[in-house]
Amino acid sequence: MYKYRAQLTKGDEIRYISHLDYAGVMERAIRRAKLPAAYTEGFNPHLKMSFASPLSLGVTSDAEYMDFELTKPLCQPEIFDKLSAALPPGIRLIKLKPVKEPKPCEGKKHKALMAEVEQGIYEVVAPLIGDWDVAVKAVERYNAASEVNYHRVTPKKTRDIEVKQYMIEPVKIGMSGDWVKLTMNISITQTGSIKPAEILELLYNEYGLPVALGRALINRCKLMGQGKDLIDLV
């Protein structure tokens, strides 16, 4: 088997499709691309593919990662072109690299893509409704706080999460036109993380960030492990 890693986008057009649907869309794209894809065994064969950290509904991304396997080694440009041509609106292929499996004598296998993820960088934009100074102050106070709790409610359970433990860097604030631009550098661990939308909610509710929350847009800019983009880990 020959394994490849693709860096893909999730554009505005498909912001509202779930992670599972995104996977289904990619499966059909690979089939349309007529690549010699490898399938799982069994009654209901599926393409051998895996994804990194799932995105929340409504979030776009420049850093979706997918590993997939082919039964024949094709050269990178051929795969790149065929797959690119088969992608639907809203998905672009940015980079593609073969995954070098460590030699058997080295004793270890490549980590699962999901397990390589340690860090995500997000950009949040929202229309400013009020004073720029107030916005800056809100972010400063959030950054200065030593502990911030987020009350997460899911259909199954509710719990409090300490947020600051996941902040790799302070939230940065900038402006583009009338929009506030926030950059969040968040750590993603095996045991948990915090979502950019949740940080935004805290900033709005508890620190008085003056933005139109309902029009906020979130984009994942990078997904990293060991300080590098996931595409550079192969």
Partner 1 sequence: MIKLEPEILQAVEKPARYTGHELNAVHKDWDEVDCHFALAMADTYEVGMSNLGLKILYEVLNNRQDTACERVYAPWTDMEAIMRDRSIPLFSLESFTEIKNFDFLGFTLQYEMIYSNILNMLDLAGIPIWTKDRNDEDTFIVGGGPTVYNTEPIADFFDFFILGEGEEVISEVAKTFVKWKREGKPGGRKGFLKEVAKLEGIYVPSFYNVKYNEKGYFSSIEPKEPEARDKIYKRVIRDLDSVHFVEKPVMPYIGIVHDRIMLELFRGCTRGCRFCQAGTSYRPIRERSREYLRELARKLVDSSGYNEMSLTSLSSADYSCLGELVDDLFADFEGEKVSFSLPSLRIDSFSIDLAHKMQQVRKSGLTFAPEAGTQRLRDVINKGVTEENLMTAVEAAFKQGWKQVKLYFMMGLPTETDEDIVGIARLAEKVARKYKEVKGKWGVTVTISVSCFVPKPHTPFQWFGQLPKDEFERRQRLLKDSITERAVKFHYHDARVSVLEGAISRGDRRISQVIYQAWKDGAKFDGWTDLFKEDVWHEAFRKCGIDMKEYSERTRDFDEPLPWEHTTPGVSKDFLKREWNKAVAEQLTEDCRRGKCSGCGVCPSLKVDIVDWKRKEGEVKANV
Binding site for partner 1 (CB under 8 A): 13-18, 21, 24-25, 27-32, 34, 39, 43-45, 57-58, 86, 88-90, 213-217
Please say which residue, 37 or 171, places its beta carbon nearer to partner 1.
37
Whose Cβ is closer to partner 1: residue 16's or residue 132's? Answer: 16
Nearer to partner 1, 43 or 108 (CB): 43
**In the complex, minimum distance from the CB of residue 178 to partner 1, in angstroms, rounded to a whole number:** 16
For the CB of residue 218, give the shortest distance to partner 1 in the complex, in Å. 9
Helix axes 132-144, 196-205, angle to 10 degrees: 110
Q: How far is the CB of 215 from partner 1 (least distance, A)?
A: 6
Shortest CB 180 distance to partner 1, Å = 15
Q: Which is nearer to partner 1, 42 or 104 (CB)?
A: 42
Q: Shortest Cβ distance from residue 66 to partner 1 (Å)?
A: 15
Q: Which is nearer to partner 1, 35 or 224 (by Cβ)? A: 35
